Amino acid sequence: MCAHVISLRRFNRRVSRPALLGLCLFGLASCAAVRPSPALPDLSTWELRQTVLGNISNWEFKGRIAVKAGDEGFNGKFNWTQAGDAFDATVSGPLGIGTVRIKGDDQAIVLTDKDGIQTVLVEPEKELYTRYGWTIPIASLRFWALGIPDPAAPAATELDEAGRLARLVQSNWVVEISRYRNAAGQQLPHKLTVSNPNTRVRMVIDKWTFFDR
C-alpha cells in the first residue's frame, strides 16, 4: 500500500471484533474528513504524472470488470475507494459469487464474502485464486488504475505518444491501457487490461472522484 509493499502481520484467520470495529471506524472517519476536489494538477509529462498521481491518496473510481481464468470467468461491477493507506473494494458478478468486499490497510486485509463471512487474507492474490479461481493484484492495483507503476517494485514501462503509460510489466503482471479519457481536468485511464499467466482482468473505469482533506 501507499509507496511501499504491503506488509501483513500474521493474524488469525477469523477477524476479531475490535479489529473489525477499528476498520469500520477508520472508514467512517475518512469519509467525514474528505471533500470532492474539482480538478487535478498538471499531468503534462510522465514525470509529473508519476509524482502527482503517486502522492494523491484519497480518491475513488466506479466501473466494470471482466475476469477470465481458464474456462471460468464473469462480468460485474468494480468499485474502489482509497483513503490514505486504507482501501475498500467491491467486486460483484454472477456465477454465485454475489458481492465480494475486500477492505484493509497496511496492517490487515479482510475479505467479506456473499454470505457476510469475514476472513483475513495473509496472501491475498493466492488466496483469492484458491477460493474463486481468479484473482486481482490488490497490492499494486491502486497505482496501475491511475496509470503509474507501483513504486515498491521494479517495472518496465512503455509510453504512448502523449507521454502516458501504455504498457507496464511488473510483479508477474502485464498492464495495458488502451484508452484514456478526461477526468478531474486530466487524462486518466478508462480501459485497461491486467493479466498474468493464470488470469486476465479487464476494467472499464466509468467515473473518477478525487478528494481533498
Mean pLDDT of the chain: 84
Determine, yes or no, domain membership for 174. yes
Q: What is the pTM of this model?
A: 0.80
Residue 151 is classified by DSSP as T
Determine, yes or no, domain membership for 9. no
- The residue among 14 and 77 whose pLDDT is bigger is 77
What confidence category does residue 98 fall into, taking pLDDT thresholds of 50, 70 and 90?
A: confident
What is the per-residue pLDDT for 11?
36
Reply yes or no on whether the pLDDT at 94 is more than 80.
no
Average pLDDT over residues 179-205: 96
Determine, yes or no, domain membership for 85. yes
Residues 190, 103: Cα–Cα separation, whole Å: 23
- The residue among 90 and 26 whose pLDDT is bigger is 90
CATH for 24: 2.50.20.10
Q: How many domains does the chain have?
A: 1
Determine, yes or no, domain membership for 63. yes
Determine, yes or no, domain membership for 159. yes
Reply yes or no on whether the pLDDT at 211 is more than 60.
yes
Tell me whether residue 177 is exposed, middle or buried, using C-beta atoms within 10 angstroms of its C-beta: 0 to 12, 13 to 18, 19 or more. buried
Reply yes or no on whether the pLDDT at 45 is more than 70.
yes
Contact between residue 62 and residue 55 where contact means Cβ atoms under 8 Å apart: no
Determine, yes or no, domain membership for 115. yes
Residues 137, 157: Cα–Cα separation, whole Å: 17
Average pLDDT over residues 170-188: 96
What is the per-residue pLDDT for 205?
98
Q: What is the domain range of residue 104?
A: 17-212
